[in-house]
Amino acid sequence: MDQPVLPLGAPRGERADAVRNRLHLLATAREMLAEQGADRLTMDGLAERAGLGKGTVFRRFGSRAGIFQALLDDDERAFQERVLSGPPPLGPGAAPLERLIAYGRARVGFLVAHREIARAALDGTQPVPAGPETPLSRMHIRMLLGQMGLGAADLDVLTVQLTAALDGPLLLYLSASDLTQAADQADERLAHGWQDLVQRVCRP
Amino acid sequence: MDQPVLPLGAPRGERADAVRNRLHLLATAREMLAEQGADRLTMDGLAERAGLGKGTVFRRFGSRAGIFQALLDDDERAFQERVLSGPPPLGPGAAPLERLIAYGRARVGFLVAHREIARAALDGTQPVPAGPETPLSRMHIRMLLGQMGLGAADLDVLTVQLTAALDGPLLLYLSASDLTQAADQADERLAHGWQDLVQRVCRP
DNA sequence: AATACAACCGGGGTAAAGTCCGCTTATGCT
DNA sequence: AGCATAAGCGGACTTTACCCCGGTTGTATT
């Protein structure tokens, strides 16, 4: 006899209590984040406030950075939705170049809005793929670049470099004060700079 | 009466013993790095092996990342020399675009060769200007971009984005295995990709 | 419903980064 | 040379990320 089909939706997945705890930890982390900022969020503090053991926190998220990656991942789901199936020019339907420009603008906005979490999600001991989020960014850029037939470029390398041009300023170079003092202005300049960059890169 | 002019050359600089200790710590750090790799280099271990107190290590370098920044800075001095006053096309004398291409190639090579230190020099809690090295990279790129009169681009933003495109792959995205398995190949692809990128960006 | 098993939980334990402050020593002036 | 001062030094102390493993609880099977 075959297995019932329903429970395979989460194939041998988390146990119910584990899910409950994970969600509770994420919610608690968000509270603490809002109240005290990312750098005051300690694993002990989170565990205590959530009423759980420290071991639980680590098994769920692996590391401190893992918590922020999970939070970021969560926030990014809606964003991904808009990219994969929302209205153009961000979603499918527009010309590749337009989509690429729109994607950059949207991602810059997202990163500026989530810069604290995004920074905290960096591991340092680990290359970025730590979260399942950047792969998507790269895959998407790569796909769009592929759709417009650029000359004999090394598409993989160009993709990484453009991804870095998009994320790097926020993750690596711009100081907190550069952003907080005029977040939306920086946002606009970066978005516009991205547009200029990819237009230059992609013109025939 | 005026002060004697000589001692102002190093205005109230480091004390002699401090200099001695700093150099000794850097040398010891390099030994440990060569023997055990960056992640096994602990502050306690370094202090003990150097025969100094931990407090000394921290006052000299501020943080663990600070040590690697100092090492990187040291290694980069020769590189900077070549850029600022070496022979073209890396040094002055060649056309800006050629210099930019040469600079990217050289920096990629440098970063690939020093990737372990460079990664370890990242702080995570701090934007990159932590070391005086990236500012120079940025300034140089910015200067070269300025020399070729690009259209009405936002030069500052373009500079950060290109700097990120250059450093990001090494600092952020490429995993250790991506590089160690074929370091020179990755090196060449990145350098060539950089050339392609800036040629696209800078053509009229 | 009872059972077996795997996953999960808790919280004490370890290691390493970073801080502090009283003591020591180099430096510049007289 | 002797002194005043500021810089430097050391190492104990605190904090925090991360590990471990015995006991517990959810889940699938009969």
Q: Domain tally for chain A?
A: 2
Cα A162 to Cα A1, A127, A158, A190, distances in angstroms:
52, 17, 6, 13
- In this structure, the answer to whether residues B70 and B109 fall within a common structural domain is yes
Query: Is A122 part of a structural domain of the chain?
Result: yes
Query: Which chain B residues are within 8 Å of A201, Cβ to Cβ?
Result: 197, 200-201
Q: Is the dihedral of CA B63, B71, B105, B182 positive or negative?
A: negative
Judge whether A158 is closer than 8 Å to chain B, CB to CB. Answer: yes
Query: Is A6 part of a structural domain of the chain?
Result: no
Query: Residues B63-94: pLDDT tens digits?
Result: 999 999 999 999 999 999 999 999 999 999 99
Q: Using CB atoms, which residue from A164, A176, A202 is nearest to B165?
A: A164
Judge whether A162 is closer than 8 Å to chain B, CB to CB. Answer: yes
Query: Residues B3-60: pLDDT tens digits?
Result: 343 444 445 678 999 999 999 999 999 999 999 999 999 999 999 999 999 999 999 9
Rounded to 5°, the CA angle B165-A62-A49 comes to 115
- In this structure, the answer to whether residues A17 and A90 fall within a common structural domain is no
Domain boundary among B39, B62, B85: B62
- In this structure, the answer to whether residues A107 and A185 fall within a common structural domain is yes
Q: Report d(CA A194, CA B179) in Å as an integer.
A: 28
Cβ distance A189 to B161 less than 8 Å, yes or no, reads no
- Residue A63 confidence (pLDDT): 95
What are the two backbone dihedrals, phi and then psi, of residue A15, each rounded to the nearest 5 degrees? Answer: -70, 155
Question: Alpha helix locations (H) across A86-147?
Answer: 96-113, 115-121, 133-147
- In this structure, the answer to whether residues A176 and A76 fall within a common structural domain is yes
Query: Residues B106-122: pLDDT tens digits?
Result: 999 999 999 999 999 99
Residue B148 falls in which region: left (phi positive, over 0), alpha (psi -120 to 50) or beta: beta
Query: Is B6 part of a structural domain of the chain?
Result: no
CATH of the domain at B25: 1.10.10.60
Domain boundary among B22, B43, B62: B62
- Residue B115 confidence (pLDDT): 92
Lowest mean pLDDT among A45-54, A79-88, A187-196, B116-125: B116-125
- In this structure, the answer to whether residues B90 and B113 fall within a common structural domain is yes
Q: Which residue has the tokens 């730590």?
A: A130
What is the domain extent for residue B40?
11-62
Whether B196 shows a pLDDT value over 80: the answer reads: yes
Domain boundary among B45, B62, B79: B62
The nt closest to B123 (CA vs C1′) is C17
- In this structure, the answer to whether residues A89 and A164 fall within a common structural domain is yes
Among residues B173, A110, B176, the alpha carbon closest in space to that of B193 is found at B173
Whether A4 shows a pLDDT value over 60: the answer reads: no
- In this structure, the answer to whether residues B24 and B69 fall within a common structural domain is no
- In this structure, the answer to whether residues B131 and B195 fall within a common structural domain is yes
